[in-house]
Amino acid sequence: MENELKAGIRKFFERIVKAILALSGGITSFVILLIIIFLFKEGIGLFKSPVVEKGYVLCVHASNPIKQLTPYQIKQIYDGEITEWEVGKLIVPFRFEEIFSLYSDEELGEDYSLLTEKLGEVVAADSNMIAFIPEQYAPSNQPDIKILPTENITFADFFGGKEWMPTSLPAPQFGVLPLILGTLWVSFFAILIALPLGLGVAVYLSELASEPVRKILKPAIELLAGIPSVVYGFFGLVVIVPLIQRVFDLPVGETAFAGSLILAIMALPTIITIAEDAMRNTPKTMREASFGVGATHWQTIYRVVIPYASSGIGTAVVLGIGRAIGETMAVLMVTGNAAVMPHSLFEPVRTIPATIAAELGEAPTGGAHYQSLFMLGCILFIITMMISISAEIFNRKQQNKGV
């Protein structure tokens, strides 16, 4: 009777534990889903924002044949890079604050009651003018003035744009292409450096190092994974950046190559630890069978141990890539943080995580700049998800081969 009571109590507590674990898993999954929904909801809002700064419009003379301008064209006009509507007709850019240098406060009326009228006079007086003025003061009722239609930011503007200048006026530039390429550029070369080194060290620790050496090296390498990223960034800024500048005779050392080296160093502990554990889990019988048919130690390593541990090695690579792509502070400190199209490893670049970290605190909540940073988060999420899916497909193929 007592044994039955104990068994009943044990089953009761087991059910409670199972229920708690199931509830924890459900809550965790639900919270993650909410985070993803919030991320994409805020990010998609960018494509409902106008190409011109919110609350402003562009006005031209009614005789001007122009019907619509892209964000990049607007920027070029106000930067002086586009100077003519057509041959012989010079563009005259006008900003709202210039009106106060043309008219006195008395001429603008009490509480600027005549401001709209005066703006209309300025625009109507010059058929080549394009005026960037607040929507509330736009002379919309004057027949000789035309307000250009304001389109929303498009996917082509965002994903195809080559300039990231979210605070540019009158048309912010949300070209994400240099940020995506900068992220992939730095991460790719980081993994290119870290992967052979990491696998080499993992093979050494698993198959070649003596037990005393392994007991010293393994904890030391694992300890490196716990160092804060800002410490790696400080090390890179003080040591690696000046070294790169001096060795390659560059004007600045904050380059994509410096970011790749730092990320490679940061990814090494993850790759080494997971790959080494996967190799050591190779059954002893498989090694003995390989030796039994006359294979050498090296043949056993690359024909038996590494193929058997390929799933674990793949996991190590994915986690290493994830560490590289998602890293923020260290990359922000050593890459120069320049949002330009990358052409060389020895030029400054900017990555997506660094952009989010640098600009989120300055972006007005709910504005286009704020939403664009959330959209960058969506892109980063999609990139990492694609890498994880690719790794899962690779692991399943290896399992189907019987490895």
Phi, psi of 173 (to 5 degrees): -105, 120
130 contacts 94 by C-beta, under 8 angstroms: yes
The pLDDT tens digits of the residues spanning 185-223 come to 898 899 889 888 988 888 888 888 888 888 888 888 888
The arithmetic mean of pLDDT across residues 301-311, rounded, is 81
The pLDDT tens digits of the residues spanning 64-114 come to 888 888 888 888 888 888 888 876 688 889 998 888 888 888 888 888 888
Identify the band that residue 2 occupies on the pLDDT scale cut at 50, 70 and 90.
low
CA-closest candidate to residue 135, choices 153, 152, 116, 151: 116
Look at domain 56-151 and name its CATH class.
alpha beta
C-alpha–C-alpha distance, residues 162 and 157, integer Å: 9
Sketch the domain layout of the chain as residue ranges.
Answer: 2-48, 56-151, 177-400
Hey, do 56-151 and 177-400 end up sharing a CATH topology, with the first three levels equal?
Answer: no
4 vs 305, residue with greater confidence: 305
Q: Is the peptide bond before 170 cis (omega within 30 degrees of 0)?
A: yes
pTM: 0.85
For 33, the token pair is 């889903």
Listed in sequence order, the residues at least 6 apart from 218 whose beta carbon sits closer than 8 Å to its beta carbon are 205, 273, 276
What topology is assigned to 177-400 in CATH?
MetI-like fold (1.10.3720)
Q: Is the pLDDT of residue 400 over 80?
A: no
